[in-house]
Every structure is written in C-alpha cells, then in structure tokens.
Amino acid sequence: MGRKVWLNGRLVSPEEAKISVFDHALLYGDGVFEGIRSYGGRLFRLEEHVRRLFDSANGIRLAIPLTPEEMGKAITETLEANGLKDAYVRVVVTRGVGTLGLDPNRCKDSAVFIIVDKITLYPPELYENGLEVITAATMRNHPNAVNPRIKSLNYLNNILAKIEAIDAGTLEAVMLNHQGFVAECTGDNVFIVRDDRLFTPPIAAGILKGITRDEIIAIAAELGIEVREENLTRYDLYVADECFLTGTAAEVVSVVRIDKRTIGSGKPGPVSRRLADEFHRRTRQ
C-alpha cells in the first residue's frame, strides 16, 4: 500500500501533496497544527486534539473549512488509508494562498493537509536509562506575544532552544518564561517528583496544555499521587527526586541530568516509571 496524504479533501500521493509558495503558512508561519498518536489503529484522544486544533485556529482568527466531526473523519480515513496501526498523525491548517504582505484578508481559502507516518523522538535506550537536558538561554515566548497554548506553525522560539540543546550535546532543553520560572521544553511538558508528590508548571506559566500532560495528571490522581500545579525554578529541578517529560510524540521519558546536575539517583525513579508504565498500558490495551 502506497503512502497517502489528505490534501483539501483528497487522498493523494506524497509527490502530489503540494502547496503554493504563496501560501502564508510558508511565507509567514501563518497556520496551526496538531500531532496525534494512534495505538493499534486507534487514535488517542482524537476529540481533544481536534478541539485544540479548532481552539488554536480560533485564537489566530483562522477559519477551518471543515466541521470538527468532518476533521475527525478525515484524520481517521487518512490513518486507515496508510495502513499503519502505531503511527503519528500531523494535521496542518494554513492561512492559504495570498499576496505578498502580512494581510491575512488577502488569503482567499485556508488549506488543510494530514500526514501519517512513524515517529521516534528519542532513542529507545533513553526511555530505559533517562535523558540529559539543559536549561536554555532562549526565553519562552511571552503569553501576550504569541500564546504558547496556540499550536502555531511559527516554532522558531522552540527551534532556537533546540539548537542550544544540540550544541550542548543533549536532545532537549528546558525553557524558562519571562518571569524566570520553568515553562516547558522545546516540545514537551515538564514534571518533577519531590517527596512522593508530583509538580508541574501551571498553564499560566506560559505552556501548552498538553494532552499527554493532562492524561498523566489524571493517572496520578487515580493512583493516589498528589499533583500540584505550581511555578517551578531551575533550583526546583536540580533538587527534585525525579523528573520526566510528557508529549504526544515523546509519550513519557525520564530526565536524569539537568545542566550537569544529577537528578535523584541518576536513574528513572519509581514514580516516573509507575506513571509511564500505566500510560503505556492504557494506550496499548
């Protein structure tokens, strides 16, 4: 079965899946996206992802030419057409073709495309042994500039921090907000464990309201683990008993070193492992 891309209502080959050089998504990063995982052919939290896509579009006054129900059906059809059971789905809505210049009103019709593929964010051994990260000098976008809750196509803020991580010989970086508190990583939410309690930055810290983040918070509550959404500093990360990251692509991955400081025992801790195992069980069952 050949790969297929959903483009404006049609399933086409990757070679046919093209957008114009005059699309404002390409010219100005004007658009929104979602990343969704499927496990065993079932899309994880599809309704929540579609709702967030429409919320992001509404946040930048971008009209999506589908209803949420039609979008969900298109995502499902694209997954089935590619014959993949465990996959990553990228849904993108662009402002559409327009003239040169920022004015979005010069774009007649928005465009939608859906890609299905496999994704491996981190090598398998890092899920077993833990990840090393740094804190980036690049500050997270101010919420009153580009609100991080909008999954826009302008990811340069995250990319600059990612470059810092790569230059430091790591794969991920923690980003601080304009107040100096921990926000999130370049593509993942952050959790720490201290005295058997789970802490994570609040939405007001300028973070994406991650769907995997919400799932971990719900799982922790069911397992009787106290969860607090509080502002965290770099010092809080350094002295944590455990630390881990969550995201659609990353799922749940432990952090064992931050800025050359060893976290806890230097290995994925028991609370992190318990939450990761339960998340894995629920998504694969």
Confirm whether 209 is a catalytic residue. no
∠ CA(45), CA(93), CA(75), 5° rounding? 40
Q: Yes or no: say if 153 and 113 are a contact pair by the CB < 8 Å rule.
A: no
Distances (CA, A) of 150 to 38, 81, 141, 214, 270: 22, 29, 11, 16, 33
| Residue of 85, 108, 151, 260 marked active site | 151
Closest CA to 141 of 99, 166, 111, 176: 176
Query: From its phi and psi, is residue 2 left (phi > 0), alpha (psi between -120 and 50) or beta?
Result: beta
Q: Yes or no: say if 203 and 210 are a contact pair by the CB < 8 Å rule.
A: no
* One-letter amino acid for residue 217 of the chain: I
Closest CA to 260 of 164, 190, 137, 170: 170
* Active site residues per annotation: 151
